[in-house]
Amino acid sequence: MTRFEPNLRIPGPTALPPSVREAGGRQMVNHRGEEFKALLRRVETGMKPFFGTDHEVILLTCAGTGALEAAVVNVLSPGDAVLAVTMGAFGDRFAKIAEVYGAAVTRLEVEWGKAADADSVRAAAAAIPALKAVLLTHNETSTGVTNDIGVLAAAVREVAPNALLLVDAISALGAVPFAMDDWGLDLVVTGSQKAWMAAPGMAMAAVGPRAWAAGETARMPRFYLDLKRHRETAVNGETPWTPAVAVLYQVEEGLRLMQAEGEGVYVRHAAAQAMTRAGLRALGFQLLADDAIASRTVTAAWIPDTLDWKAFNAGLKRRGLVIAGGQGRLKGRIFRVGHLGSVTTDDILAAVGVLEAVAIEQGIDVRPGAAVAAAQQALLAGTGSAA
């Protein structure tokens, strides 16, 4: 069936709403002028409630990976003892960055598809003398699992009250409630192309006082990603280097849409998640993550041995549905459906409809309409009405 714009259901970049697209096409301004200063301040301030923080939010011109690097190099010195709690490709990346810069990294490897449990994290933290920092993933994009960061943070605090808590919250922050200050987190990062409904190119780091203090003695080299330089220029409404102005226009507009929607943002993501899971299950797919730890922003499903994945995915693409494959050790073994940012329950109903049609085409035994009916039931059960 003809479709005039793909249904982009990867876990970022996410599809841009019309007003965000328009923002991306705006003319440039002087990045040292008053108009830009006001823009930067609106975004920095507007982001804080989504982080659940009163601390500074620093805007960086880079991908999320750059923000992970910023989190590491701004607070650590070579040789520092670091615990990296990993449960997927992005947790591995975070740990790798710390290693590249010379930290003494101990990995607590959680099985991919599972969440970290507090007891294991507490024990691992307790076993490391002079533990300087713990690297945590909030939402592991490669597996569709969300950690309970508040609980994990509390567990670390019990045994290592001085350890810094550095959190990769790139792929779910903004889509789910988050409480950086209440949970006692020190540095939390996210990226523009996820829940924020903007194009990629900017990352945001919320930095607490303990992280700033650690930065005063941290000896890992840094320049472009130096958060202190960003903090110093932010006082004047500027960034130290030329920022990705057009991406910032989009972030501001996405933020405006999120502010207007209020709590509805979280309701919408929860509904999209429930619909996706119900639809995939009705098609007979096994989901990677249990319900209790499943991500609100991305759902991973196992590819059955009986399914010709290439033919299946080609069928989806022909109908304009774009989903993601697996990463790292799960490459070729799972597929992932993104449901974050501008996602609507209509988008998910359409996606489940295409998945169902192609599944039937590929010989999966399913009654026509069963998957979309399941998704619809999940929507109505969760919200009582279309979100």
Contacts with a second copy by CB under 8 A lie at: 5-6, 8, 10, 12-16, 21-33, 61-66, 69, 96-97, 100-102, 191, 193, 199-202, 220-225, 240-247, 250, 322, 324
Burial code (b: 16+ CB inside 10 Å, e: under 16) for 280-298 equals: bbbbbbebbbeeebbbbbb
Please report how close the Cβ of residue 149 comes to a second copy at its closest, in angstroms. 22
Q: How far is the CB of 97 from a second copy (least distance, A)?
A: 5
Nearer to a second copy, 276 or 313 (CB): 313
Nearer to a second copy, 42 or 96 (CB): 96
Which amino acid is located at 73 in the chain?
Answer: V
Q: How far apart are CA 299 and CA 337, in angstroms?
A: 5
Nearer residue to a second copy within complex by CB, 92 or 293: 92
Interatomic CA distance for residues 384 and 274, integer angstroms: 13
CA 251 vs. chain centroid, Å, equals: 15
CB of 27 to a second copy, least distance (A): 6
Nearest residue (CB) to a second copy, 12 versus 113: 12
Closest to 67 in 3D by CA, of 220, 255, 227, 297: 227
Q: Which two tokens stand for residue 310?
A: 């290439």
Cα separation of the two ends of the chain: 26
Query: Toward a second copy, which CB reaches closer, 61 or 137?
Result: 61
Report the distance separating Cα 110 and Cα 136, nearest Å: 11
Q: Residue 228 CB, nearest distance to a second copy (Å)? A: 12
| Closer residue to a second copy in complex, CB, 52/240 | 240
- DSSP annotation of 328 reads G
Beta bridge partners of 191: 203
Q: Which is nearer to a second copy, 243 or 279 (CB)?
A: 243
Q: Which is nearer to a second copy, 23 or 75 (CB)?
A: 23
Q: What is the C-alpha to C-alpha distance for residues 170 and 152, in angstroms, rounded to an integer? A: 17
| Closer to a second copy by Cβ: residue 100 or 381 | 100
Q: How far is the CB of 72 from a second copy (least distance, A)?
A: 9
- Euclidean distance between CA atoms 48 and 143, whole angstroms: 27
Q: How far apart are CA 314 and CA 334, in angstroms?
A: 15
Locate all alpha helices (DSSP H) within 209-304, ordered by sequence.
209-215, 227-234, 245-261, 264-282
Q: How far is the CB of 113 from a second copy (least distance, A)?
A: 21
Are the C-beta atoms of 63 and 203 separated by less than 8 Å? yes
Query: CB 131 → a second copy: shortest distance, Å?
Result: 22
Taking the complex as a whole, how short is the minimal distance between the CB of residue 94 and a second copy, in angstroms?
10
CB of 282 vs a second copy, minimal distance in Å? 25
Q: How many CA atoms lie within 13 Å of 37's alpha carbon, on the beta-carbon side?
A: 8
Look up residue 186 and give its DSSP letter: S
Three-class secondary structure of residue 88 per DSSP: coil
Q: Exposed (0-12), middle (13-18) or buried (19+): which is 384, by Cβ within 10 Å? A: exposed
